[in-house]
Amino acid sequence: AAKGPAPHLRRSGGAATVKTMLLEWCRARTRGYPHVDVQNFSGSWGSGLAFCALLHSFFPDAFDFAALEPTARWDNFALAFATAEERAGCAPLLEVEDMVRLPVPDAKCVYTYVQELYRCLVAKGLVKTKKR
C-alpha cells in the first residue's frame, strides 16, 4: 500500500509523476481565477492568491475571492492557511512570515503543503480518487 503525504496520488513512475499530477490538479482547480497561473510550486504561489483560489474552489462561501489583492501577500497567505486549517483540517505547516520573507516561496515547502492539503481534502471526501 502507498504511504506518505499523498498516498492517493501514487502511481508507477515515482515522485516526479506524483509532483506532476499534483501540479496538474492545482492548475485544474485554479483555472479561471484572476491573477492565478499555476506553472510550478514556487513563483506561481508568491502572492498567496494560488492558495486562496485552490481553497476557494472547494469552499466558495469561505471568503470573497474577488475582493483579494495580489499585492496583499500577508493577508492572502493568512486567509488561505486559516481557511485550510478551519475548513479542510489541514495542519499549519507553513508560517505566513516565512512565505512573505522571500519574493519567491520555497518550492519544497509549497509542494509539501499542497500534498497535505490534498490529503486532507481526500480524507474529507472532497476529492475523489480512482480506486485500484
Domain that holds residue 82: 15-124
Average confidence (pLDDT) over 57-83: 98
Kindly tell me the sign of the dihedral angle through the C-alpha atoms of 94, 43, 80, 16. negative
Q: What cell was used for 68?
A: 483579494
**Quick check: is 25 in a domain?**
yes
Instruction: Report how far apart, in Å, the C-alpha atoms of 88 and of each of 42, 116, 123 are.
Output: 22, 10, 9
The per-residue pLDDT for range 80-126, each reduced to its tens digit, is 999 999 999 999 999 999 999 988 999 999 999 999 999 999 999 99
**Quick check: is 32 in a domain?**
yes
**Quick check: is 43 in a domain?**
yes
pTM of the model: 0.86
The per-residue pLDDT for range 23-34, each reduced to its tens digit, is 999 999 999 999
The CATH number given to whatever domain includes residue 107 is 1.10.418.10
3-state secondary structure of 81: helix
**Quick check: is 93 in a domain?**
yes
**Quick check: is 113 in a domain?**
yes
Residue 1 banded pLDDT, cuts 50, 70, 90: very low
**Quick check: is 55 in a domain?**
yes
Strands (E), 17-89: none
Mean pLDDT across the chain: 90
Single-letter amino acid, residue 108: K
Name 24's Cβ contacts closer than 8 Å, sequence gap at least 6: none
| Number of domains comprising the chain | 1
